[in-house]
Amino acid sequence: MPIFAPDGILARHRRFVRVQMFDLERPTDLWTVIFDGAADLLSEPHTSHLGFFHSSARRASSRAALSATYLEDETPYGKRWIFQDVHAGGAAAIAGIEPGDVLLKVDGREITPPEHPVFAMGKQTSVEFVDRSDQRRTVSVEVARPKGKKLHFIEPTLVEARQLGDGLGYLKIAMFPGMIGVEVANEISRAVEKLGAVDSLIIDLRGNTGGGIGALRVMSLLTPDKIPAGFALDRHRVTPNLESEKQRFLRFSRIPCSTKALWRLALRFGPAMMAKKPIVFQTEGLGEKPFHGRVALLVNRHTASAAEMIVAFARENQLATIVGEKTAGRLLSATSVKVGNGFRLAMPTGAYYTWNGLVLEGTPIEPDELIEFNWRERRAGTDSQLDRTIESIGGHRAECAS
């Protein structure tokens, strides 16, 4: 079964690859040629989920290491990286970095676009930035070592939920780790239960870089029924008869509540996976929810991969209003393979097709209501994207009531 890997965890920037190479503590001349050649080659297709890295890599991008995203813009300090999403529980949030803060230096070295900062894992890194009060601050960011061996990322707080008043619930999901996503799916269900009988819901997917099939639980919250969402398919398998053939694809329509049940999934879906046959993701049929028909998805330019599956599903079935910025347009199934001497090649294994045949790779999803991230307002403590979403869903609730 394909994994829709979080964007940003692969070594896709040449400088990042070089930093990893220096960490290998081996003669560098030959490896410089290998890394540079591989980086240049892999940059040609302009395809996401494509990278070349070493299993002993000790550095990661800010998205992976800090659980934070950023955008570039002109500031009083010149063109700089500005933090946009800072996920609770991540290294950046723990260090006191907030959305709207302007990045200046990493370990005493000035960082300006287009260069992306990288951070040592398992060590402290000093980060200098300008906070919302226009004061320069330097903090030590503690970046833990990654749990996985193949793809490097640090998990933030995965799920947050709270009531915003007047029957409005708020659910924020940072990412969908794990191939099947049993744990994150359970967290999402517990969070929704904790919200109680809210009659409208905002699902915040801003900065959600994707992951695995745990995203199916969010899709399942949008409808009481079992509805096919989409499937991953090698482009070479696309035929003129795809529309009829897809009806016969095996369907995955339930995330188990315990990892102890995964062996049953292996028995059922293992043969199809070994044969690289498509598997359709279908919502779980969780039944009626009081907020059905009154859901808003809050997205931005960093909403990618499996999170975009949710947005596309909601759009095709008219199950939610999409608010914010257009999404990243990075949605491929991916894997990584050993290529010798400790190196791994991360590469896409197929395109993701929505049930209606839309391919999202390279095609960002436009929101129903465009609200750009205003970092100056965010520095002043105003989340205009969330505020406008609350207004939007409030107006929709009033229309439904009348």
User: What pLDDT sits at residue 43?
Assistant: 45
User: What pLDDT sits at residue 153?
Assistant: 56
User: What pLDDT sits at residue 208?
Assistant: 95
Confidence of residue 349 (pLDDT cuts 50, 70, 90): low
Confidence of residue 331 (pLDDT cuts 50, 70, 90): confident
pTM listed for this prediction: 0.82
Do residues 160 and 208 lie in contact, with contact meaning Cβ atoms separated by under 8 Å?
Answer: no
* 340 Rama class: left (phi>0) / alpha (psi -120 to 50) / beta: left
The 10s digit of each residue's pLDDT in 98-117 is 999 999 999 999 999 999 88
Share of the chain above pLDDT 70, in %: 75
pLDDT, averaged across the chain: 82
Count of helix runs (H) and strand runs (E) in the chain:
11, 20
User: What pLDDT sits at residue 31?
Assistant: 44
| Strand bridging mode 78-86 / 68-75 | antiparallel
The 10s digit of each residue's pLDDT in 245-274 is 889 999 999 999 998 888 888 888 888 888
Token pair of 182, please?
């049993």
User: What pLDDT sits at residue 399?
Assistant: 52
Question: Which whole-number Å values give the CA distances from 228 to 223, 268, 309, 319, in the listed order?
Answer: 11, 18, 12, 14
Share of the chain above pLDDT 90, in %: 54
The 10s digit of each residue's pLDDT in 309-318 is 999 999 999 9
The 10s digit of each residue's pLDDT in 191-232 is 999 999 899 999 999 999 898 899 999 999 999 999 999 998
Question: Which whole-number Å values give the CA distances from 236 to 86, 123, 276, 349, in the listed order?
Answer: 39, 44, 12, 11
Alpha carbon 227 to chain centroid, angstroms: 23
Residue 169: is its pLDDT beyond 50?
A: yes
Cis peptide before 114 (omega within 30 of 0): yes
Query: What are residue 80's DSSP bridge partners?
Result: 73
